[in-house]
Amino acid sequence: MKKLVAVAATVLIVGCSAEPAIQTGPEAETTFDGLVRIDNARFAMAWVDPDIDLTQYSKIMPGGAEFEFRNVQKTSAMAARRSNESEFWISDTDKQRLVDLVSDTFTEELQRSEHFTFTEEAGPDTMIITGALHDIVSRVPPEDVGRSEIWLRSLGEATLIIELRDSLSNEVIYRAVERRAVESQSQMIRAHTATSWAEVRRWARRWATRLREGLDSIHQ
C-alpha cells in the first residue's frame, strides 16, 4: 500500500466525554463547501456533510498524503547552544524517516479495522481518505549541542488535516483539523535519538488508533 494513509487520522463523530453533535440552525458554522461544524468531535475542529449516511461505506481507497515542514534555518551546534531558539532544522534523512514512520504506523493500524477493507476501485461503498501533516516543526536541538542531557516537554508538533471523500462524486464528506505536539502525557522527554523516535512512533500510533476506532465506530 502506498503512503496513502500516512496521516489519515479520523474522526468520526464519537470518542469524547461530551456527546458530539452537528450544529444546526442559522448560527451553524458552515464551510465554503457545505460542511457543518461538529461540536465535541474527536478532533479540535471537524466538519461533516449532514446529509451523508456514513454507514453506507465499508471500504477505504488510498487518496494520498502530504508532509510539509516549517522552513527553519540550519545552524551549528554551537550556535544552537548559545541561542534561545526553540525550533530546529530537520535533515532530509530525518524528514524521510518521519514520513516512512508515520505512513507505516497508519497503514499497520488501519489494517486492523474490523469493518473496513482497502480497495483500489471507486464504488458506492467506498470513501477516499486523504491526509496531511502541515507546518511540522522540531523542538529537538542538535545532539552535539552539549554533553549534558536535554529534557523537553515537547519534541515537536504538526497540524493534521484529514479529509474523507465519496469515491464516486469526489465530494468532501468530512474534514478535521488539529495541531498536536509530540509530548509525554506525564513527564519530560529525554532528547535522545532512540527516545525521540520512540515517542514519535507512539504519537503516530495514538493518532492512527483514533482513526481506526473512529472508522469502526460507524458500524458499531
pLDDT tens-digit series, residues 58-112: 999 988 889 999 998 887 655 555 556 778 888 899 999 999 999 888 888 888 9
Q: How much is the pLDDT for 163? A: 92
Cβ atoms of 161 and 178 closer than 8 Å? no
Cβ atoms of 173 and 52 closer than 8 Å? yes
Provide the percentage of residues in the chain whose pLDDT is more than 90. 38
Q: How much is the pLDDT for 184? A: 62
Alpha helix segments (H runs only) across 68-161: 77-82, 92-110
- Answer yes or no: is pLDDT of 14 > 70: no
Phi and psi at residue 131, to the nearest 5°: -145, 165
- pTM for the whole thing? 0.80
C-alpha grid cell for residue 121? Answer: 476501485
C-alpha grid cell for residue 87? Answer: 525550533
Residue 206's pLDDT band, with cuts at 50, 70 and 90, is confident
**CA gap 173, 163 in Å, rounded:** 8
Averaged pLDDT, 158-186 = 88
CA nearest to 10, candidates 177, 200, 220: 177
Q: How much is the pLDDT for 81? A: 58
Work out the number of other CB atoms within 10 angstroms of the CB of residue 157. 19
The neighbouring-strand residues paired with 127 are: 60, 166
